[in-house]
Amino acid sequence: MEIFPAIDLMNGEAVRLTKGAFDSKKVYSACPEEIAARFRAEGARHLHIVDLDGARSGENVNFSAIGKIVAAAGIPDIEVGGGIRDEKRIETYLALGVNRVILGTSAAENEKFLRDAVRRFGGKIAVGVDTLNGKVRTRGWERECDLDGFGFVKKLSDIGVETVIYTDISRDGRLQGINADMYAELARISSARIIASGGVGSLDDVVKLRNTGVYGAIIGKAIYENIVSVSEAVKTGDEYDS
């Protein structure tokens, strides 16, 4: 299983939120590119970046910071999400050196745009499915829509989306563990690569996720709070399931 250390950005700073609440922001660094370089030094092969301001407003708020991160990271696989709602922005991020862009609000609200993006960019398109109580939320997690999370994931597979980042908002940033049964079911019903997000608080959680069959796991707060190191997580993710 692949490990995706996370860098969430607000106003150019690396932050973490609890359950997606913007007023719960905790700033960890004013130089997120330094964090990315440290992740690489600790063995990270992947990096997950989110422009939280962009997710909320749809504006390209943290583009400069993301450019610095990509330049400094030296990490083979980088994905970026947050406020990507037109093809021009997809092109801009790919030209920057990002490997994959994550569509969230735009995927949930505009199926034609999603289908066109997948047709044009193929595996460069991932979709973030952010759910609370089983329902998809958009606009920086502040708006609930009518989509059922599992049903949406099945539809994304039919559309041809190759990578889905599925976030359990109720556990995000709380370090209280993951819902292993939920991710095992997602891995079973979807042909897409499932990347789990929300709740990793220990290496035991990494083992549980690895054994569900998901492709990857995003780890944020547990790394920033020095509970789990990137190197330990990568090693655990690489271990053969027993």
Active site residues: 8, 130
In the chain, the amino acid numbered 159 is I
Phi, psi values for residue 175, rounded to 5°: 60, 30
Neighbouring CB atoms inside 10 A of 73's CB total 22
φ/ψ region of 19 (left if φ > 0, alpha if ψ in -120 to 50, else beta) reads left
Token digits for 149?
Answer: 């999370």
Residue 222: which of 242, 239, 206 has the closest Cα? Answer: 206
Neighbouring CB atoms inside 10 A of 119's CB total 11
Confirm if 44 and 234 have CB atoms less than 8 A apart. yes
Distance CA 235, CA 114 (A): 35
Confirm if 230 and 5 have CB atoms less than 8 A apart. yes
Helix or strand (DSSP H, E) at 208 = helix 203-210
Residue 139: which of 152, 130, 149 has the closest Cα? Answer: 130
Helix or strand (DSSP H, E) at 38 = helix 32-41
